[in-house]
Amino acid sequence: MRAILSLLLIAGAAQAAELRVNRGILPGGLIDDRRLLSELNQHAKQLREEEGTVKASELLKQLDRKQCALTLQQPDKDKLTSAQIAERNRKGVLVVSGLYKCQRCPLWHSGAASGFMLTEDGVFCTSYHVIDNKDNDSLVIMTGDGRVAPVVEVLAANKATDLAILRAKGKGFTPLPVDTSAQAAPLGGKVRVFSHPDRHFYVLSEGIISRKYLDSARREGPRRMIAITADFAKGSSGAPVFNEYGAVVASVNNTQSTYYSVKNGVKDNLQMVFKNTVSMEHLRELIKAE
């Protein structure tokens, strides 16, 4: 009897230690953006005070790590609808949030970028530039079902390709399938993006692969890119781009606006916005060959 009681106490303590956003994520997938960010900020501040929390300054020092050992989740063999992709993968789509103080008030604030889970034990991927921010005090992630956990380690990163693999504390996460082959992202293929544009959390958009190109005009070095027509915006950096089989084939990176004319530094007549993502071929470069 005493042994059973001890196990129950241990289980209860583990459950109590797991932080969750509750009011911001409602039944039926309804999102209250303001409450979600408020709860996330509250949990991030609580985790900051806990023993063993890793400071963002320590994570910055680990960004020079080049590769890590990792086994990726394999994709499905059947094509999926947008609704099926959303239902199956939402738990593994992450909010990546930095806790910071601004210059205008003494309060703590929480940022909101995107990412996706790679393994059951907390390994995830996001953009390098999301982590490379000296203003952050600490970093946390939130899963699609509201679980909040601190980021504890950088496993591998590459500034040139703008990808980083990190680990969050905990187990029992939902890994997303990833396909790092070039054939997984054909020109004209249908894609979906699940991201958090401008703090509008868990926005699903749909489009096609409109272009595949080599981004070589960069000081950091060339990288293989995939332009898509699915919508995203600031806050979407690091978000997963899914192909028709529900596999992540790219990571959201940047947008480029094309104007008809520029006079005296003033851009006029917006014509087109290119939505650029980083091919998962570059994620493979961060993983040690078996």
Q: Which residues contact 241 (CB under 8 A, 6 or more apart)?
A: 191, 192, 193, 226, 228, 230, 248, 249, 250, 251, 252, 277
Q: What is the pLDDT of residues 85-100, one digit of tens each?
A: 999 999 999 999 999 9
How many domains is the chain partitioned into structurally?
Answer: 2
Whether residues 73 and 152 share a domain: the answer is yes
The whole model's pTM is what?
0.91
User: For residue 249, what is the domain's CATH number?
Assistant: 2.40.10.10
Whether residues 194 and 146 share a domain: the answer is no
Whether residues 149 and 193 share a domain: the answer is no
Whether residues 49 and 80 share a domain: the answer is yes
The domain in which residue 280 lies consists of 182-285
Whether residues 150 and 216 share a domain: the answer is no
Residue where one domain finishes, among candidates 101, 134, 168: 168
Q: What is the pLDDT of residues 240-285, one digit of tens each?
A: 999 999 999 999 999 999 999 988 888 899 999 999 999 999 999 9
Q: How confident is the model at residue 13 (pLDDT cuts 50, 70, 90)?
A: very low
Which residue, 160, 183, 167, 180, is CA-closest to 250? 180
Whether residues 16 and 113 share a domain: the answer is yes
Identify the DSSP state of 199: G
Residue where one domain finishes, among candidates 135, 168, 201: 168
